[in-house]
């Protein structure tokens, strides 16, 4: 970064009037704006074209979740990885689960079984 590009007398005097937190934000914004294209791996002359990905259909797989009267959750689907993603989302949404069991059926389906302990506020706000 070349000091002459950013710090003329007017801008330097303005910077000196800011409190410490505002100075930090000012420098952060200045750096982010200056290096944003480098950080994204793009030049000003080159734009990334997303059109090649627009036609790709997302992969959809059915997942069945059942809660029985005794407080057990059974999740059935095509793979352990898929079911683990579903369970992770449930935990992030506040479910407390224990006693994991995995069963495999002859038809190729996988089932995960959990005891539901309770629910809490979501771990993630997203």
Rounded alpha-carbon distances, angstroms, from residue 38 to 7, 44, 76: 22, 9, 45
The more confidently predicted of residues 46 and 58 is 58
Q: Measured in Å, how far apart are the chain's first and last C-alpha atoms? A: 37
For the chain, how are helix, strand and coil distributed in percent, rounded to 5? 40, 25, 35
Domain 64-119 grouped into CATH 3.10.28.10: yes
pLDDT tens digits along 72-100: 999 999 999 999 999 998 998 888 999 99
Whether residue 111 has pLDDT greater than 90: yes
What is the pLDDT, as a whole number, of residue 98? 92
Whether residue 101 has pLDDT greater than 90: yes
What is the pLDDT, as a whole number, of residue 39? 52
pLDDT tens digits along 6-54: 567 887 888 888 888 888 887 777 776 655 555 555 555 555 555 665 5
Alpha-carbon distance of 97 to 66, in angstroms, equals 14
Would you kindly state where each structural domain of the chain is located, as residue ranges? 1-56, 64-119
- pLDDT interval class at 1 (50, 70, 90): very low
- pLDDT interval class at 60 (50, 70, 90): confident
């Amino acid at each position: 970064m070349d000091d002459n590009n950013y710090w003329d007398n007017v801008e330097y005097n303005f910077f000196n009037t800011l409190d410490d937190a505002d100075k930090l934000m000012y420098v952060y914004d200045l750096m982010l704006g200056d290096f944003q294209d480098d950080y994204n791996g793009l030049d000003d002359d080159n734009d990334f074209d997303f059109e090649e990905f627009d036609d790709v259909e997302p992969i959809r797989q059915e997942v069945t979740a059942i809660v029985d009267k005794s407080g057990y959750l059974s999740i059935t689907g095509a793979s352990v990885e898929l079911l683990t993603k579903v369970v992770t989302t449930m935990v992030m949404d506040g479910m407390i689960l224990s006693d994991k069991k995995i069963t495999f059926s002859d038809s190729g389906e996988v089932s995960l079984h959990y005891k539901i302990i309770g629910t809490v506020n979501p771990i993630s706000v997203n």
